[in-house]
């Protein structure tokens, strides 16, 4: 008799069956995500918090976004592109090219913003000072400098200054962009400029 009982399989407790059934129903109804179904990378990226859509492009180093229902102008930390819209200042050599490069680099996708502990939150024009990253992780400022569309703006402290100066030197040595087309010059304060566009 005892031997027969050992050979007989024990029945699964009723509460275990109920839990398994509830789990299956919840997964079928969509209350529990199916780990085998993966969202496209773009959908995940677009839904992440901290990403902002461009409201409009101002010039090569300045953009406008909507943040918490309010329009904010973002001045990119550590880069200075030739002027296109500055009051009482003519359009400078490579200004329109830099503005077009920024617009093409970002496109219609969302961007990620990052502050810098060495920088102030806003400049004297009340613009937010931020690093700007594209949706695929490119740092817009570094791309501008490395490809000869802007200068490393070292008149104010920021953590990526050495990295940006190195990118500028490489672009200068290779005569990329404005370095090969605009004969940039350095002012007494160390700030690089280009001449007026012809």
With respect to residue 195, please indicate whether it lies within any of the assigned structural domains. Answer: no
- Rounded Cα distance between 57 and 135, Å, is 16
The answer to whether the CB of 71 falls within 8 A of the CB of 65 is yes
Q: What pLDDT does 152 receive?
A: 97
- Which candidate, 190, 196, 115, 194, places its Cα nearest to that of 159? 115
With respect to residue 4, please indicate whether it lies within any of the assigned structural domains. Answer: no
Could you say which DSSP state residue 196 is in?
B
**Catalytic one among 83, 122, 130, 163?**
83
**Catalytic one among 127, 130, 143, 191?**
127
Range of the domain at 89: 45-174
> How many residues appear in the chain?
198
Q: What pLDDT does 166 receive?
A: 98
With respect to residue 98, please indicate whether it lies within any of the assigned structural domains. Answer: yes
With respect to residue 82, please indicate whether it lies within any of the assigned structural domains. Answer: yes
**Domains: count for the chain:** 1
pLDDT at residue 113 greater than cutoff 70 = yes
Q: What does DSSP say about strands 54-59 and 51-52: parallel, antiparallel, or unpaired?
A: unpaired
The pLDDT tens digits of the residues spanning 9-48 come to 556 677 666 766 666 665 655 555 444 444 444 433 444 4
What stretch of H or E contains 59? strand 54-59
Q: What are phi and psi of 122, to 5 degrees?
A: -135, 155
Q: What pLDDT does 39 receive?
A: 40
* Residues in Cβ contact with 114 at an 8 Å cutoff, skipping those fewer than 6 apart: 130, 131, 133
pLDDT at residue 94 greater than cutoff 80 = yes
Q: What pLDDT does 85 receive?
A: 80
**Catalytic one among 72, 75, 130, 143?**
75
With respect to residue 198, please indicate whether it lies within any of the assigned structural domains. Answer: no
The answer to whether the CB of 118 falls within 8 A of the CB of 158 is yes
With respect to residue 163, please indicate whether it lies within any of the assigned structural domains. Answer: yes
CATH number at residue 102: 2.40.50.90
With respect to residue 73, please indicate whether it lies within any of the assigned structural domains. Answer: yes
112 counts as catalytic: no
SS3 34: coil
With respect to residue 40, please indicate whether it lies within any of the assigned structural domains. Answer: no
- Rounded Cα distance between 156 and 185, Å, is 19
> What is the overall mean pLDDT for the chain?
84
2 counts as catalytic: no
């Amino acid at each position: 008799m005892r031997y027969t009982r050992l050979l007989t399989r024990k029945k699964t407790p009723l509460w275990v069956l109920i839990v398994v059934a509830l789990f299956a129903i919840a997964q079928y109804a969509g209350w529990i995500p199916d780990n085998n179904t993966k969202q496209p990378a773009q959908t995940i990226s677009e839904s992440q918090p901290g990403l902002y859509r461009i409201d409009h492009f101002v010039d090569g180093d300045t953009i406008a976004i909507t943040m918490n229902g309010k329009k904010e102008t973002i001045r990119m930390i550590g880069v200075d592109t030739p002027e296109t819209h500055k009051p009482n200042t003519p359009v400078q050599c490579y200004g329109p090219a830099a503005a077009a490069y920024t617009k093409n680099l970002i496109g219609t996708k969302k961007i990620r913003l990052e502050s810098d502990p060495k920088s102030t939150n806003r400049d004297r024009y009340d613009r937010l000072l931020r690093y700007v990253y594209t949706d695929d992780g490119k740092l817009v400022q570094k791309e501008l400098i490395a490809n000869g569309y802007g200068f490393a703006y070292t008149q104010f402290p920021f953590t990526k200054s050495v990295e940006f100066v190195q990118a500028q030197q490489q672009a200068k040595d290779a005569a990329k962009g404005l370095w090969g087309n605009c004969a940039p010059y350095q002012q007494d304060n160390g700030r690089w400029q280009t001449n007026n566009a012809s």
